[in-house]
Amino acid sequence: MLVEKNVPLQALNSFHIVAKAHQLVRVASQADVQTVLASGELGAQPKFVLGGGSNIVLTGDVKPLVLKVEIMGRRLVQETARAFVVEAGAGEDWHDFVHWTLQQGYAGLENLALIPGTVGAAPVQNIGAYGVELQDRFDSLDAIDLQTGRIFTLNAAQCAFGYRDSVFKHAAPTTTRGLGLAGRSLITQVRFSLPKPWKPVLGYADLERRMAEENVPAPTPQQIFDWVCDIRRAKLPDPALIGNAGSFFKNPTVTAEQCVDIIARDPKIVYYPLLDGSIKLAAGWLIDACGWKGKTVGHAGVYEKQALVLVNRGDATGGEVMTLAKAIQTSVYERFGILLEPEPVVV
Ligand code: EPU
């Protein structure tokens, strides 16, 4: 087992923040993880699981032992009358996996095209875009308990998925989210149930607009994949060129009463009524309304085309990103009385 020391993490996090891992081990199988856990010195150390690094803000060097997940593989596990069940290793690139499923004729993940990161990170924050969330296509996952080395399988209910949330984001046992698994487990494989027959998910405004513009009344999965890629490229920065972690804040949910006041003051506010009577507000709009779009503080900035995305303008530290995030939180709170919650994990 090769233990790399003082490993630069700049290329391993999508914000491109400069930081080092004191020690890093690349794991390519469940057996590799178990070997690390069984080796006395390494096994006893605190651990940090690193996937594609697309949802983290590094605020310093990482002292826990970094387990870089490089578990690969993609396969059809089962075909039933109702679904294709497809499995991928946690280290597979998410977008490449989505592309592969379409090439094989297994449709259903096309709305989730071009989301940065790995397959193993996708359930952690229940990735979502253009009307589809990972939980809508999820079958089950395998993971390893980092304390005991035990391999276990979780179904969707056990993952306790919520909006950009799962059991993997919660450290302590809570009554609402079951047993928290943050920092305690490493996801090794994820299985998806891709329904037959396939039905397009088109309700999202940007997609509806594309469909009308191109006059394609019955788009194919590939067509939707292409549209989603175009829409994302037009308004989200490519992390290969501009460091970022996608949406920096979650869209906040408020009660109807809270919202009545806000809408009365700002009739142009963008909001979506939810089934339970609460209302989701577009955080990007709130931040934009506070004048942040295109602004820079230190070396961190707010993306010019989407105020919900914070970017690295070059050599930003994690501290600078968090200073900007806090300034945004304060101004949105002062104007709207709403506290925005960050999406990425701050390390
Ligand atoms: N808006 C503004 N100004 C801005 C940004 C947005 O007025 O600077 C308005 C837009 O005009 C639109 C509304 O806010 O009416 C919502 O914006 P958008 O459609 O871009 O979606 P979003 O709510 O900002 C969410 C997800 C994205 C996902 C898109 C598409 C969250 C936190 N973000 O963004 O997910 O791709 O919807 O489904 O839920 C991510 O999580 O990293 C991510 C990129």
* Closest C-alpha to ligand 1, atom 16: 282
180 vs 322, which has greater pLDDT?
A: 322
Over 90: is that where the pLDDT of 262 sits? no
Q: Give the CATH architecture of domain 4-69.
A: 2-Layer Sandwich (3.30)
178 falls in which pLDDT band (50, 70, 90)? low
Q: Average pLDDT for residues 270-287, to the nearest whole number?
A: 93
Specify the domain boundaries for CATH 3.30.465.10 within the chain.
74-195
CA-236 nearest atom, ligand 1: 44
pLDDT at 172: 64
Specify the domain boundaries for CATH 3.30.43.10 within the chain.
4-69
Residue 229 CA, ligand 1 centroid: distance in Å? 15
DSSP string, 234-267: HHS--TTTS-EEEESBPPPEE-HHHHHHHHHH-T
pLDDT at 96: 98
Residue 79 annotated as catalytic: no
Q: How far apart are CA 138 and CA 122, in angstroms?
A: 10
CA dihedral of residues 107, 240, 12, 183 (deg, nearest 10): -50
Task: Copy the structure tokens of residue 230.
Answer: 């175009």
111 falls in which pLDDT band (50, 70, 90)? very high
Residue 92 annotated as catalytic: no
259 vs 186, which has greater pLDDT?
A: 186
Over 70: is that where the pLDDT of 174 sits? no
Task: Copy the structure tokens of residue 34.
Answer: 């178990």
115 falls in which pLDDT band (50, 70, 90)? very high
User: For the segment 50-77, what is each residue's pLDDT rounded down to a tens digit?
Assistant: 999 999 999 999 999 999 999 999 999 9
pLDDT at 261: 85
80 falls in which pLDDT band (50, 70, 90)? very high
Q: Average pLDDT for residues 145-167, to the nearest whole number?
A: 95
Specify the domain boundaries for CATH 3.90.78.10 within the chain.
243-346
Q: How far apart are CA 52 and CA 16, in angstroms?
A: 12
> How do strand 65-69 and strand 128-129 relate by DSSP bridges?
unpaired
Q: Average pLDDT for residues 292-318, to the nearest whole number?
A: 97
* Closest C-alpha to ligand 1, atom 36: 129
Q: How far apart are CA 238 and CA 302, in angstroms?
A: 14
Average pLDDT, the chain: 95
Q: Could you tell me where the DSSP H helices lie in the chain?
A: 30-38, 40-44, 94-104, 156-159, 205-214, 221-235, 256-265, 283-289, 318-336
CATH code reported for the domain at 243-346: 3.90.78.10
Which of helix, strand or coil describes residue 74? strand
CATH pick for 74-195 out of 1.10.1240.10, 3.30.465.10, 3.40.50.10800, 3.40.640.10:
3.30.465.10
Residue 54 annotated as catalytic: no
User: For the segment 218-232, what is each residue's pLDDT rounded down to a tens digit?
Assistant: 999 999 999 999 999
CA-293 nearest atom, ligand 1: 8
Q: Average pLDDT for residues 231-258, to the nearest whole number?
A: 95
Over 90: is that where the pLDDT of 175 sits? no
Residues having CB within 6 Å of any atom of ligand 1: 129-130, 246-247, 250-251, 270, 282, 284-285, 288, 293, 306-308, 343
Over 90: is that where the pLDDT of 45 sits? yes
pLDDT at 217: 85
